[in-house]
Amino acid sequence: MRIEISGHQIDVTPALRDYVQDKLARVARHFDHHLEARVVLAVDKLEQKAEATLTTTGKTMHADAIAPDMYAAIDLLADKLDRLVLKQKEKMTDHRRGESPARTDTFG
């Protein structure tokens, strides 16, 4: 997984960078293939905002989270991305592959 982290009106410290990478590693374990993430950390008055765009083969997913604390916003963002990725992975799996009498060669 390749993660690009940038800040808008905030300096991205090594501690924040490590925290984002640790949290998004949870999302990366759901996919075996290439995954890219662009994360933008922003401060807007009293709100701390974390946004992320995940790009997989053929699909782009976006999520954002707002909290009073940047670490809390990153936690919320990771939870949202985890749900999005699981939902996308479930859509990708073929649910019609199970056993059915119509697909078997024996009729009887």
By residue range, what is the domain housing residue 48?
2-89
**What pLDDT, on the 0 to 100 scale, is given for residue 17?**
94
The verdict on residue 28 lying in a domain is: yes
pLDDT, tens only, 54-100: 988 778 999 999 999 999 999 999 999 999 888 887 777 655 655 55
Best CA proximity match to 42, nearest among 67, 18, 79:
67
Which one is predicted more confidently, 19 or 95? 19
What pLDDT is stored for residue 107 in this prediction? Answer: 54
Q: What is the C-alpha separation between 23 and 103, in angstroms, rounded?
A: 43
Work out the number of other CB atoms within 10 angstroms of the CB of residue 70: 21
Quick check: 105 pLDDT over 70?
Answer: no
* Average model confidence (pLDDT) across the chain: 85
Domains contained in the chain, number: 1
Question: How do strand 59-67 and strand 47-56 relate by DSSP bridges?
Answer: antiparallel
Torsion angle (degrees, nearest 10) of CA 26, 31, 37, 40: -30
CATH code where residue 66 lies: 3.30.160.100
Q: Is residue 97 part of a domain?
A: no
Check whether 108 has a pLDDT greater than 70: no
Q: CA nearest 7: which of 56, 53, 34, 43?
A: 43
User: Residue 100: inside a domain, yes or no?
Assistant: no
> For residues 39 and 50, what is the distance between their CA atoms, to the nearest angstrom?
7
pLDDT (average), residues 45-51: 92
